[in-house]
Structure 1
Amino acid sequence: MADAKLFAGHAVRRLRRQLGLTQAAMAEALDVSASYLNLVERNQRPVSATLLLRLVETYDFDPRALAASEPGGGAEAIRRRLADPIFADLEIDRHQMEEWLAGAPGGAEAFARAYDRIGGGGAAETEPDDAGRQVRREIERWRNHFADLDAAAEALADELRLAAGDLYGAMAERLRVRHQLSVRILPADVMPDRTLRLDLHARQIQLSELLDASARSFALAGRLAEEARGEIDALAKGAGLDRAAERLYRRHLTGYFAAAVMMPYARFLRACEASGYDLELLQRRFGASFSQVAHRLTTLQRVGARGLPFFLIRVDRAGQVSKRYAGASGSPLVEGPGICPLWNIFAGFARPDELLVQLLELEDGSRWFTLAHAVRPQGDRSGLHARFAIGLGLAADNAGGLAVASGQDLAGRAVPAGLGCRACTRPDCPQRSAPPAGRALLLNERESGVTPFGFAGD
């Protein structure tokens, strides 16, 4: 990762145009040739460390903009959109896509925005459609790692640790002293339909007794995100989202900060590496839930101290997706147009106390080591027994050091999975529920196979 070349001509071109400069004028100011700058802007040359330093010194340029402003979220994000069955007959290969991003970044960005706005993305989602897609796209730009937020949370966590050994008690005391907010645990019948309430008149954070210790800590840490208002404001305003999407994005950033206070980056990463990413141990050590630890694993992309590139997806029994984070994994399992029923993420509902492991191989030959575990909402008293299943995973090549992968043959037989039946072209799959999009349906009255949906090849 550290040795990867940085192609970000779109960001350099955008900066030049914002400044109203010609290529010749900018090249002169940066002490490079105009032809070299032209190649950089067309993504035919990477942005070198020397050029990046001159951009920073000459124009007070924020280098994070290079990574955070790729058209459509970058090549992997565009590739996942093009995996939609509606584009199946176009056969756009990686080379064509890279040429498109390099030659017409504005067009690629326009395609991404239009696709997201009209409802592309396949699997149904429970979050507000347009707002949710805008926020997911912004999170994707940053690979769900917000360095400034992590640094602020880590500094706060160190202060709290020095103040007291009990994180919850230290947070409650800080809220009392610095924010004039007391914490009160209320009976469930007093808060029958709420788990948290901020009562500014009484200067109280009111929590339901139904919340467990990890949820209570997360609630207090989220309130302390007020101390990172500057960082959150900068990220939210820089995203250029509409009002509803910005509020949703702020909620994500607040939750990110809360998790980073409970699981400070450096300490959490050391614990991950020392334990082989043992999820049960991490939960106990940091007083966190399975969901909190799983989310945190998708964020470990600090420059110079990267963790393993995990992805996360959360589904209900109907296969509707309510959360998805690709992180740095680039996994098509997260943004695919559907979910393969052969993926054992759904088996978690029948085996809620187990952590299920599985090795998947997709049609492109990529192999993914996955974990699945069922979770239930905190404080639910509806009697409906709501449950979600979390799928957590990473490329099989990166899974060798995981404690849970001990004894697993990561190079052995894998389940041949797809990205949902409409995007999958595997023949003779007994689980198939529909033919792939873009393929003619073949019917033979004299023969039948394991599936009624025979289809034509390429």
Structure 2
Amino acid sequence: MADQKLFAGHAVRRLRRQLGLSQVAMAEALAVSASYLNLVERNQRPISATVMLRLAQTYDFDPRRLAASEPGGGAEALRRRLADPLFADLEIDRHQLEEWLAGAPGGAEAFARAYDRIGAGSAGAAEPDDAVRQVRREIERWRNHFADLDAAAETLADEMRIAAGDLYGAMAERLRVKHQLAVRILPAEVMPDRMKRLDLHARQIQLSEMLDAPGRSFALAERLAEEARGEIDGLVKGAALDRGAERLYRRHLTGYFAAAVMMPYARFLRACEASGYDLELLQRRFGASFSQVAHRLTTLQRVGARGLPFFLLRVDRAGQMSKRYAGASASPLVEGPGICPLWNIFDAFARDEMVTHLVELEDGSRWFTVARAVQPQGARVTSIPARFAVGVGLAAGEARTLAVAAGRDLAGHAMPIGLGCRACTRPDCPQRSAPPAGRAMLLPNDRESGVTPFGFAPD
């Protein structure tokens, strides 16, 4: 744990000022030099886990607040917002951004909130999905890791396994005994347009027979989230969201708790590390679906017991993103305005297996991704054959221990991709469908043509 480090100068400075301490006084209490503390507060030095623990012991400070309270979600999240063409002429470089975060964290947070509230776009126009943006920003602020929920779910899972080895049976029994709720599986014709329903009059959790085993377990675990109402209420209240966003956030936290009951943190992380994050093995060991395991991989950020920093995307055939979690990966692939068609996440729709890809973005960062097509449970009830592709990934340098990457040359050739044509400035791409935003399109020449009709002027 002593090797874990992060930049959290804003949080350290805020704590010191709340306590009314000088840098010299706090440095003495933490057994570090005042010059080192000054550099930490200015985000020019990372704070080690050793100093983090001294903060916790000396000032009764929760170290999770250091990672959860970065202004605007941190430097990478702010950089992605500033990549909007609206700010193209300002030429804010990384050094300026770091100075801004260190010198005026409150201002950086205010900018992020205002930008997220009005919605991103070349004209800065407001978008109708403001509630979704608010929730995504709050999840990003916590890096999709809610330690209190994980701890409560882990305790509950351990208690239930004392009485039974069958998780589904144990959850049904706990719901019956502690919550006076019976579980009833109903025929599809009885629930033609519903997959699950809570009937408080009959004191029943009613599940459609069309739900598969992971879906049924998840539904029961969601109801057991009532036992973590205090933790969930605290997180929702602390987020200060609009009413609609508050409901979405509560639903996310309820689902987070349910997944944590099915895949308790410590046991799940041990299984990940022992198997090389073998997604198929993890599905079978924990009785979970591919989507459930993929979501869980983005949450493994417990202090002192961190997993690999995965991100997750869920897209449809048109490239529309319905879910995206950066976790601790800070991947631009999550926050980009679009998806590059050269990224083989779309190949998953035509194959009944996992597909992998090594890609490289314009900034030189390389990412290893795994994707699979999934069918939502509700698609089996309606006549609409809905399908999505769920993709997870992480920095290529972190992927060496993955079972699915065995034998791959992660330093070799990678597919050069962008973040959608409007955000990509790679020249001569035959797949290009539009010129990049903020670049003047070159008029066609009648005497010659290139590989794309959308030529554009250099920056």
Please say whether Structure 1 and Structure 2 have the same fold, judged by a TM-score greater than 0.5: yes
In 2, Cα distance between equivalents of 1:47 and 1:278: 33
In structure 2, the CA distance between the partners of 1:35 and 1:135, relative to structure 1 (3 Å rule), is: same
Which shifted more, 214-223 or 405-414? Answer: 405-414
What percent of counterpart residues are identical?
84
Counterpart contact for 2:5–2:49, Cα < 8 Å = no
1:259 is aligned to 259
1:324 is aligned to 324
SS of the residue 1:193 aligns to: coil
* Distance apart, 1:304 and its partner CA: 2.1
2:95 is aligned to 95
2:181 is aligned to 181
Alignment pair present for 1:130 and 2:130? yes
Q: Which runs of 5+ in 2 are unaligned?
A: none
Alignment pair present for 1:363 and 2:362? yes
Q: Which runs of 5+ in 1 are unaligned?
A: none
1:278 is aligned to 278
1:70 is aligned to 70
Residue type at the aligned position of 1:357: T
Residue type at the aligned position of 1:378: Q
* Distance apart, 1:40 and its partner CA: 5.0
Counterpart contact for 2:2–2:49, Cα < 8 Å = no
* Distance apart, 1:357 and its partner CA: 1.0
- Root mean square deviation, CA, Å: 2.6
In structure 2, the CA distance between the partners of 1:416 and 1:193, relative to structure 1 (3 Å rule), is: same
SS of the residue 1:455 aligns to: coil
In 2, Cα distance between equivalents of 1:23 and 1:248: 42
Counterpart contact for 1:344–1:358, Cα < 8 Å = yes
Residue type at the aligned position of 1:303: V
SS of the residue 1:441 aligns to: coil
Alignment pair present for 1:374 and 2:393? no
Counterpart contact for 1:121–1:336, Cα < 8 Å = no
* Distance apart, 1:6 and its partner CA: 4.0
1:236 is aligned to 236
* Distance apart, 1:410 and its partner CA: 1.6
* Distance apart, 1:140 and its partner CA: 1.1
2:454 is aligned to 453
SS of the residue 1:81 aligns to: helix
Deviations along 1:309-366, one digit per CA (max 9) or x if unpaired, are 1110011122221111111111110111211111111222233x12111110111111
Q: Superposition pairs for residues 428-439 of structure 1, below 5 Å?
A: 428-439=428-439
* Distance apart, 1:417 and its partner CA: 0.2
In 1, Cα distance between equivalents of 2:305 and 2:6: 19
Residue type at the aligned position of 2:456: F
In structure 2, the CA distance between the partners of 1:28 and 1:119, relative to structure 1 (3 Å rule), is: closer
Counterpart contact for 2:23–2:38, Cα < 8 Å = no
In structure 2, the CA distance between the partners of 1:46 and 1:361, relative to structure 1 (3 Å rule), is: closer
1:305 is aligned to 305
In structure 2, the CA distance between the partners of 1:406 and 1:114, relative to structure 1 (3 Å rule), is: same
Counterpart contact for 1:84–1:336, Cα < 8 Å = no
* Distance apart, 1:54 and its partner CA: 6.6
In structure 2, the CA distance between the partners of 1:62 and 1:188, relative to structure 1 (3 Å rule), is: same
Counterpart contact for 2:314–2:324, Cα < 8 Å = yes
Counterpart contact for 1:271–1:282, Cα < 8 Å = yes
Counterpart contact for 1:311–1:326, Cα < 8 Å = yes
In structure 2, the CA distance between the partners of 1:37 and 1:417, relative to structure 1 (3 Å rule), is: closer
In 1, Cα distance between equivalents of 2:136 and 2:143: 10
In structure 2, the CA distance between the partners of 1:457 and 1:231, relative to structure 1 (3 Å rule), is: same
Which shifted more, 6-15 or 323-332? Answer: 6-15
In 2, Cα distance between equivalents of 1:257 and 1:89: 44
> Which structure is richer in relative contact order (CA contacts within 8 A, separation 6 or more)?
1
Which shifted more, 439-448 or 322-331? Answer: 439-448
In structure 2, the CA distance between the partners of 1:339 and 1:24, relative to structure 1 (3 Å rule), is: closer
* Distance apart, 1:63 and its partner CA: 2.6
Counterpart contact for 1:184–1:207, Cα < 8 Å = yes
In 1, Cα distance between equivalents of 2:99 and 2:338: 27
In 2, Cα distance between equivalents of 1:262 and 1:50: 32
Alignment pair present for 1:421 and 2:429? no
SS of the residue 1:437 aligns to: coil
SS of the residue 1:446 aligns to: coil
SS of the residue 1:391 aligns to: strand
In 1, Cα distance between equivalents of 2:399 and 2:177: 45
In structure 2, the CA distance between the partners of 1:384 and 1:279, relative to structure 1 (3 Å rule), is: same
* Distance apart, 1:192 and its partner CA: 1.4
1:343 is aligned to 343
In 2, Cα distance between equivalents of 1:5 and 1:216: 40
SS of the residue 2:215 aligns to: helix
In 2, Cα distance between equivalents of 1:75 and 1:451: 35
Deviations along 1:283-321, one digit per CA (max 9) or x if unpaired, are 111111110011011111122222211110011122221
In 2, Cα distance between equivalents of 1:39 and 1:413: 39
In structure 2, the CA distance between the partners of 1:310 and 1:39, relative to structure 1 (3 Å rule), is: closer
In 2, Cα distance between equivalents of 1:25 and 1:242: 41
Residue type at the aligned position of 1:217: S
Counterpart contact for 1:23–1:38, Cα < 8 Å = no
1:391 is aligned to 391
In 2, Cα distance between equivalents of 1:330 and 1:36: 26
In 2, Cα distance between equivalents of 1:216 and 1:299: 22
Counterpart contact for 1:8–1:46, Cα < 8 Å = yes
* Distance apart, 1:87 and its partner CA: 3.4
* Distance apart, 1:25 and its partner CA: 11
* Distance apart, 1:16 and its partner CA: 5.4
Counterpart contact for 1:89–1:438, Cα < 8 Å = no
Counterpart contact for 1:359–1:368, Cα < 8 Å = yes
In structure 2, the CA distance between the partners of 1:59 and 1:149, relative to structure 1 (3 Å rule), is: same
Deviations along 1:382-405, one digit per CA (max 9) or x if unpaired, are 211011111111111111222211
Q: Give the TM-score of the pair, scaled to structure 2.
A: 0.91
Counterpart contact for 1:27–1:33, Cα < 8 Å = no
2:287 is aligned to 287
SS of the residue 2:65 aligns to: helix
Residue type at the aligned position of 1:367: R
* Distance apart, 1:424 and its partner CA: 0.9
Residue type at the aligned position of 2:416: P
